[in-house]
Amino acid sequence: MSNSIFVGTDTDGKQQELLFKLANRHGLIAGATGTGKTVTLQILTEGFSKAGIPVFAADVKGDLSGLSQAGSEDHKLHDKLVARAQKIGLIGNDYAGMLGSGYEYEAMPAIFWDLYGKQGHPVRTTIMEMGPTLLARLMDLNETQEGILTIAFELAEDEEMLLLDMKDLNAVLNHMSENKEEVSREYGNVTSQSVAAIRRSLLKLKRAGAEEFFGEPALKLSDLMRVDKKTGKGMVSILAADELINSPDLYSTFLLWLLSELFEELPEVGNPDKPKMVFFFDEAHLLFDDAPKALVEKIEQVARLIRSKGVGIYFVTQNPMDIPDSVLGQLGNRIQHALRAYTPKEQKAIRAAASSFRENPNLDTEEVITDLGVGEALVSLLDEKGVPGIVGRTLIRPPASRLGPATKTERKAVMSHSPVGDIYDTMIDRESAYEMLFEKTEKIKEEAKKSKEADAKTVKKKTAPRKKKASTSSRRSSGRRQKTATDHIMHEVKLVGRQLLRSQGRKIIRGILGGMMRR
Ligand SMILES: Nc1ncnc2c1ncn2[C@@H]1O[C@H](COP(=O)(O)OP(=O)(O)OP(=O)(O)O)[C@@H](O)[C@H]1O
Ligand SMILES: [Mg+2]
């Protein structure tokens, strides 16, 4: 098997190859709209998949779904694709209507995912796996509110209640405001206003369609790291993002969460021969828009550390300046499509992009960037020694899978044969904080009712003038009895909770970004 992906041939006649053993040194695909970024992502994905490396990519415009279908000689661009393949030496000039071994049409094994569960298998995670820090970012909370949200997590952990979905979190928040004196004493100041504000944000998030996303079965990373048994190709996970992209916070938080999970769950592998998994981050600017400095630092840190877990991250964006320098510095493999130079800001971006490459005496990169054709790019990939290769003006290879989207019917067919449909298509709702608190309240109500009835009976026996006093003492005593009942229930809740936690075998507050950010 080859040890690299053939990306294209440059004007110096050099074949640009992405080496698998350096593919975990990350990459950048940049370029103005319509210049060929998605097709470049597509051919890289094909290369990884064919080498048995699973890929995850968000499909912002629906066109990546074509990866699941083979290209075809009936395709309107077939002749152009063949001409391109000949130009870069992928097939000979003796092509006579039959594609040969150098360039063949073939489909990649795909799994479609969708946070909203419409165009793919539902992707879910639990509130506790998301963790308070990422959740606070998602809900746009201020520092005080984030503090209170963290208390909600701590309280749930202490009382061994599971925070799975949005109604669990809501129930715990409600519980907190109902018992705010007690909670404040134990965890720090909790005000009704702040809790109310968090609950309002939660409602907003729900309206934005995020309710579907929180719950079980939560996504297991191993399902993103599958290899197709039949063909040995890495499975390509394609996340429908056309609708999702309209909720940029949810989109970027979800991808961040996924990265942090990969980071946390995968073992160290040092420098593997090929990556364990490759992750494409399309519309990457959304991740960094308005991102606080602390978050950017953490992303940089995760990018740096995740390398040794064998994960390669490829950022796809229109303008390389959208990505902070500290992160840009981590991206070793670079494919720069054409940029436009209309405004001073754009000209500045061109100068920056042009100067970021290792010089090629035959090229004026600054001039070439604005002159590149569609599906052509300035390419510099890491060489055997891990040094950026000399930049080349490169015609990118044509894809083997279909250029353009899969139809609805094709998507359905792929989904019906999917290895994960049985696992994720039906939501489950096991006992968690909401049910526990609901049950607890019901029991307390019942106990209170019973003790009230008992008190009423005692009171009846007493004489009229002492009634008033009796009722105060009864309130107190029913309060005491109530507490005993609560204690008893809490004890049971803890037992159940402990069992659940044990069966889960994981820590309740998670998210490395969350953990790292608190420090
Ligand atoms: N490597 C390639 N081989 C063949 N055709 C290509 C290649 N790259 C780009 N093209 C052609 O250019 C068109 C636009 O490319 P692509 O969709 O990748 O642009 P893009 O940069 O992703 O645009 P946008 O920013 O709008 O998403 C493709 O539909 C295809 O026809
Ligand atoms: Mg695109």
pLDDT per position as a tens digit, 43-69: 999 999 999 999 999 999 999 999 999
Distance CA 113, CA 55 (A): 13
Topology classification of domain 4-71+106-124+226-414: Rossmann fold (3.40.50)
pLDDT in the model for residue 516: 42
Distance CA 174, CA 151 (A): 13
> In whole numbers, what is the pLDDT of the chain averaged over residues?
86
From the CA of 58, the nearest ligand is 2
For residue 237, the CA-to-ligand 1 centroid distance in Å is 20
Task: Give yes or no for residue 38 CB within 6 A of ligand 1.
Answer: yes
Read off the pLDDT of residues 354-377 as tens digits, 9 standing for 90 and up: 998 988 999 999 999 999 999 999
For residue 286, the CA-to-ligand 2 centroid distance in Å is 15
For residue 34, the CA-to-ligand 2 centroid distance in Å is 7
From the CA of 29, the nearest ligand is 1
Nearest to 510 by CA among 260, 301, 187: 260
Q: Whose CA is nearest to atom 3 of ligand 1?
A: 398
Is residue 112 predicted with pLDDT exceeding 90?
Answer: yes
Q: Whose CA is nearest to atom 16 of ligand 1?
A: 36
From the CA of 32, the nearest ligand is 1
Of 90-99, 266-275, 299-308, the poorest mean pLDDT is in 90-99
Q: Whose CA is nearest to atom 12 of ligand 1?
A: 36
Task: Give yes or no for residue 145 CB within 6 A of ligand 1.
Answer: no
Is residue 263 predicted with pLDDT exceeding 50?
Answer: yes
Best of 38, 76, 88, 90 for a ligand 1 pocket test (most atoms within 8 Å of beta carbon): 38
Please identify, by atom number, the ligand 1 atom nearest to the C-alpha of residue 35. Answer: 21
The DSSP bridge partners found for residue 312 are 278
For residue 189, the CA-to-ligand 1 centroid distance in Å is 54
Confidence class of residue 405 from pLDDT cuts 50, 70 and 90?
very high
Strand 4-10 to 392-396 pairing: antiparallel
Q: Is the distance from CB of 420 to CB of 92 less than 8 angstroms?
A: no
Task: Give yes or no for residue 33 CB within 6 A of ligand 1.
Answer: yes
Distance CA 354, CA 372 (A): 13
Please identify, by atom number, the ligand 1 atom nearest to the C-alpha of residue 398. Answer: 3
Read off the pLDDT of residues 218-240 as tens digits, 9 standing for 90 and up: 899 999 999 999 999 999 999 99
- Token code pair at residue 302: 């995760």
Q: Please state the rounded mean pLDDT for residues 111-124.
A: 94
Read off the pLDDT of residues 446-505 as tens digits, 9 standing for 90 and up: 887 787 777 777 666 554 444 333 333 333 333 333 445 555 555 555 545 444 443 443
pLDDT in the model for residue 487: 55
| Total-model pTM | 0.84
Nearest to 261 by CA among 253, 269, 272: 253
Task: Give yes or no for residue 402 CB within 6 A of ligand 1.
Answer: no
Read off the pLDDT of residues 139-188 as tens digits, 9 standing for 90 and up: 989 999 999 999 999 999 998 888 999 999 999 999 999 999 999 999 98
Of 72-81, 113-122, 422-431, the poorest mean pLDDT is in 422-431
Strand 110-114 to 55-59 pairing: unpaired
**Phi, psi of 459, rounded to the nearest 5 degrees:** -55, -40
pLDDT in the model for residue 474: 34
pLDDT in the model for residue 41: 98
pLDDT in the model for residue 99: 62
Distance CA 437, CA 341 (A): 60
pLDDT in the model for residue 454: 78
Residue located via tokens 């075809």: 72
CB atoms within 10 A of CB 386: 12
Confidence class of residue 416 from pLDDT cuts 50, 70 and 90?
very high
Amino acid at 384: E
Degrees to nearest 5, angle at CA 312 with 307 and 313: 110
Task: Give yes or no for residue 36 CB within 6 A of ligand 1.
Answer: yes
Q: Whose CA is nearest to atom 6 of ligand 1?
A: 375
pLDDT in the model for residue 95: 64
105: left (phi over 0), alpha (psi -120 to 50) or beta: beta
Best of 39, 84, 245 for a ligand 1 pocket test (most atoms within 8 Å of beta carbon): 39
Give percent above pLDDT 90 in the chain.
60
Please identify, by atom number, the ligand 1 atom nearest to the C-alpha of residue 33. Answer: 25
pLDDT in the model for residue 451: 78
219: left (phi over 0), alpha (psi -120 to 50) or beta: beta
**Which residue stretches of 357-432 are H helix?**
365-371, 408-416, 421-424
pLDDT in the model for residue 457: 72
Q: Where are the domains of the chain?
A: 4-71+106-124+226-414, 126-215+431-519
Give percent above pLDDT 70 in the chain.
86
Please identify, by atom number, the ligand 1 atom nearest to the C-alpha of residue 404. Answer: 29
